[in-house]
Amino acid sequence: MDIKLSKRLSKALRHDPAHLGLTLDAAGWTDVSAVLAALRVDRETLDAVVAENNKQRFAYDETGTRIRASQGHSVPVDLGLLPATPPDVLYHGTVAAALPSIEADGLRPMNRHHVHLSATRETAVTVGARRGKPVILVIDAARMAADGHVFHVSANGVWLTDHVGPAYFDLP
């Protein structure tokens, strides 16, 4: 799998489609043919990135003529995900430098549309390790859900919510 191509695709489908002359519809989809032309790759190469991407970041629609990122956008899209009941516990991987602010304000979406939470501690460790020594927050998702907070789960298994108040953390 071509990691460089995967990164270019992430940029195009999540953050800056205009840079490649692409437009996303309201749900984040764009034509595969336009993507192939913009990235100058053939369908087989794109299929390999979609199929083998380590986090299944991209998905084709049911006809295979459109493609979108499954989560992680900074451009406004509505993925149309239905609310889902989370597991009792979810995890968030971050780094120590962010903790004072997180303890004060809770987890905020920052540049994305949602706070991203992981179903396993292992995944959260990988997410946190992108920024340094990972620190794992354990989140009482059952209590959040009981308190009326809404969760969605992306096509690639990332749990999304608007905000996680400090009251829901089990700090390390």
Interface residues with ligand HQG (CB under 6 A)? 55, 57, 72, 94, 98, 101-102, 105, 107-108, 110-112, 116, 127, 131, 158
Q: Which is nearer to ligand HQG, 42 or 172 (CB)?
A: 172
What is the gyration radius of the CA atoms in the chain, in angstroms?
A: 17
Residue among 90, 37, 98 at smallest CA distance from 67: 37
Q: Which is nearer to ligand HQG, 41 or 124 (CB)?
A: 124
Q: Which is nearer to ligand HQG, 112 or 149 (CB)?
A: 112
**C-alpha to C-alpha distance for 108 and 112, rounded to whole angstroms:** 9
Rounded least distance, CB 108 to ligand HQG, Å = 4
Rounded least distance, CB 149 to ligand HQG, Å = 15
DSSP 34: H
Rounded least distance, CB 60 to ligand HQG, Å = 17
Cα separations in angstroms, 63 against 21, 24, 35, 109: 23, 17, 16, 32
Which amino acid, 141?
A: A
Q: Which is nearer to ligand HQG, 37 or 165 (CB)?
A: 165
Q: Which is nearer to ligand HQG, 22 or 157 (CB)?
A: 157
What three-state secondary structure class fits 170?
A: strand
Rounded least distance, CB 118 to ligand HQG, Å = 7
Rounded least distance, CB 135 to ligand HQG, Å = 9
Give 74-131 as a 3 state SS string.
CCCCCCCCCECCCCCEEEEEEEHHHHHHHHHHCECCCCCCCEEEECCHHHHHHHHHCC
